């Protein structure tokens, strides 16, 4: 027993000498486990957002995460198709946060993220081998690739199909993959198993007569269907969390923004004795204007409360909704929030419509958020 304890202590000392112990965002403590890699396979293409005069470029991507092992070191990636066929190989220099023609490196809290533009493969890879090379040392890991299908239909709020594109944003707001819907609005994309910060859905008329639909914190752990409706607004920054106080409810927060509103910009407001610029492009929402569905079942809305989201020197109206949980509340919760109302502006009846998704896991009793 003492010998085993000594071996554990020696192992920990060796690990500490090789690599500094720093918290990793994915909660891995052992450095080799902290190496992650994802391959996003899609056809190269572009889309034009006419109102903002922007061209979005679509391409396949490789993302590699891992610990910083030296001031300057190389990370090599080898991608294998089934039957152990090598389909891709490249090496990347990591020397702090940097930008290159074909890849970028972000370093945060002594961990790195490499995002590389790559060519589409004939199929999704089966394995990715990542090797970190420092002078006289190397750390290597073979990562099995698991993919799940995301599919659905994109329409307007009258049910008419829309040819639109869906952008995949795993960590922040950088795009790593995309898919077009067909003329009938149907789309299908294969994605690596992980949790995604957001999906962004646009019909190309952004700021002309529509805004976009969003899906937030989407957990790709199995094949799933998400149908989107594009309207004149957004369900932006959507979050859902359990009420642990025993009321049997969820709280939902989001910032709605719409093209058509009766509000005036440029106003000032004060919170905690500090003055802010008020940007008010949100609709005035009540219980009758909102629909919430949990795991595709209608949820009872108890309250709708208007609040303000605060930035450095600005505030924007937001909402908190309290809804009854759908029982039994167990496992993965997929929450859809939709608003649909009309206003009269300059003798015209104008729609204020949008929807969005959020996903999370609850514990055994449906309380704490298990993300």
Task: Give pLDDT tens digits for 216-255.
Answer: 999 999 999 999 999 999 999 999 999 998 789 999 999 9
**Helix, strand counts (H, E) of the chain:** 1, 29
Mean pLDDT for 92-104 is 93
- Strand duo 314-324 + 249-258: pairing: antiparallel
Task: Give pLDDT tens digits for 105-140.
Answer: 999 989 999 999 999 999 999 999 999 998 778 899
Average pLDDT value for the chain:
89
**C-alpha distances in Å from residue 226, one per residue of 11, 152, 257:** 47, 5, 22
How confident is the model at residue 49, as a pLDDT?
78
Mean pLDDT for 341-370 is 92
Mean pLDDT for 271-295 is 95
- C-alpha 143/C-alpha 128 separation (Å) is 5
Are the C-beta atoms of 37 and 140 separated by less than 8 Å? Answer: no
pLDDT beyond 70 at 279: yes
For 235, the token pair is 């369900």
Helix (H) or strand (E) holding 15: helix 2-18
How confident is the model at residue 101, as a pLDDT?
85
How confident is the model at residue 141, as a pLDDT?
94
Which residues pair with residue 352 across a beta bridge? Answer: 341
**Among candidate residues 59, 268, 283, the one with its CA nearest the CA of residue 179:** 59
Rg (C-alpha) for the chain, rounded Å, is: 23
Q: How confident is the model at residue 10 (pLDDT cuts 50, 70, 90)?
A: very low
Kindly tell me the sign of the dihedral angle through the C-alpha atoms of 65, 68, 71, 77.
Answer: negative
N- to C-terminal Cα separation, the chain: 37
Helix (H, G, I), strand (E, B) or coil at 35: coil
**Among candidate residues 369, 115, 102, the one with its CA nearest the CA of residue 242:** 369
Give span(s): CATH 2.60.40.10, the chain: 147-361
Range with the poorest average pLDDT among 47-56, 61-70, 81-90, 162-171: 47-56
To the question of domain 147-361 being in CATH 3.40.430.10, the answer is no
Q: How confident is the model at residue 31 (pLDDT cuts 50, 70, 90)?
A: low
Mean pLDDT for 305-330 is 95
Does residue 238 come out as left (phi exceeding 0), alpha (psi in the -120 to 50 range) or beta? Answer: beta
Helix (H) or strand (E) holding 93: strand 85-94
In this structure, the number of other CB atoms found within 10 A of the CB of residue 25 comes to: 12
How confident is the model at residue 5, as a pLDDT?
40
Mean pLDDT for 269-274 is 91
Range with the poorest average pLDDT among 45-54, 175-184, 277-286, 354-363: 45-54
- The DSSP call for residue 288 is G
Q: How confident is the model at residue 356 (pLDDT cuts 50, 70, 90)?
A: very high
Are the C-beta atoms of 173 and 212 separated by less than 8 Å? Answer: no
Mean pLDDT for 61-77 is 95
How confident is the model at residue 82, as a pLDDT?
95
- C-alpha 351/C-alpha 354 separation (Å) is 10
| Phi, psi dihedral angles at 86 (to 5 degrees) | -75, 125
- C-alpha 346/C-alpha 203 separation (Å) is 27
Measured at the alpha carbon of residue 246, what is the angle toward residues 244 and 247, in degrees to the nearest 5? 105
Provide the edge-to-edge strand list for the sheet that holds 348-361: 177-180, 165-169, 194-202, 213-220, 348-361, 332-345, 290-294, 297-298
Are the C-beta atoms of 226 and 220 separated by less than 8 Å? Answer: no
- C-alpha 214/C-alpha 185 separation (Å) is 16
Are the C-beta atoms of 326 and 299 separated by less than 8 Å? Answer: yes
Task: Specify the higher pLDDT residue, 17 or 239.
Answer: 239
How confident is the model at residue 30, as a pLDDT?
62
pLDDT more than 70, % of the chain: 91
How confident is the model at residue 371, as a pLDDT?
67
pLDDT beyond 70 at 26: no
Task: Give pLDDT tens digits for 187-222.
Answer: 999 999 999 999 999 998 888 899 999 999 999 999
pLDDT more than 90, % of the chain: 75
Q: Which fold has domain 20-144?
A: Immunoglobulin-like (2.60.40)
- The DSSP call for residue 210 is B
């Amino acid at each position: 027993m003492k010998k085993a304890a000594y071996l554990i202590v020696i192992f920990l000392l060796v690990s500490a000498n090789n690599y500094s112990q720093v918290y990793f965002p994915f909660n891995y403590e052992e450095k080799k486990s902290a190496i992650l890699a994802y391959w996003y396979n899609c056809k190269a293409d572009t889309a034009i957002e006419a109102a903002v005069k922007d061209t979005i470029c679509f391409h396949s991507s490789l993302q590699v995460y891992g610990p910083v092992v030296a001031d300057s070191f190389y990370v090599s990636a080898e991608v294998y198709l089934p039957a152990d066929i090598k389909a891709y190989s490249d090496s990347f220099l990591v020397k702090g946060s940097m930008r290159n023609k074909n890849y970028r490196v972000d370093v945060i809290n002594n961990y790195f993220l490499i995002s590389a533009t790559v060519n589409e493969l004939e199929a999704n890879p089966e394995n990715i081998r990542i090797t970190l090379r420092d002078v006289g040392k190397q750390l290597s890991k073979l990562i099995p690739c698991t993919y799940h299908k995301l599919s659905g239909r994109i329409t307007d709020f009258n049910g008419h199909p829309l040819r639109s594109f869906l952008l995949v944003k795993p960590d922040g707001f950088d795009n790593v993959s995309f898919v077009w819907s067909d003329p009938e609005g149907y789309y299908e994309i294969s994605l690596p198993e992980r949790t995604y910060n957001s999906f962004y859905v646009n019909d190309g008329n952004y700021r002309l007569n529509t805004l976009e639909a969003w899906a937030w914190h989407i957990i790709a752990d199995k094949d799933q269907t998400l149908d989107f409706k594009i309207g004149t607004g957004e369900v932006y920054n959507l979050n859902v969390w359990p009420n642990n106080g025993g009321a049997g409810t969820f709280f939902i927060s989001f910032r709605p923004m719409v093209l058509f509103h009766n509000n005036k910009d440029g106003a000032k407001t004060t919170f905690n004795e500090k003055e802010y610029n008020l940007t008010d492009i949100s609709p005035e929402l009540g219980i009758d204007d909102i629909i919430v569905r949990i795991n595709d079942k209608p949820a009872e809305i108890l309250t709708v409360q208007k609040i303000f989201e605060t930035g450095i020197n600005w505030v924007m109206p937001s909402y908190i909704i309290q809804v009854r949980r759908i029982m039994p509340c167990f496992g993965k919760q997929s929450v859809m929030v939709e608003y649909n109302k009309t206003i009269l502006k300059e003798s015209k009846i104008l729609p204020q419509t949008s929807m969005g998704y959020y996903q999370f896991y609850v514990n055994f009793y449906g309380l704490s958020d298990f993300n």
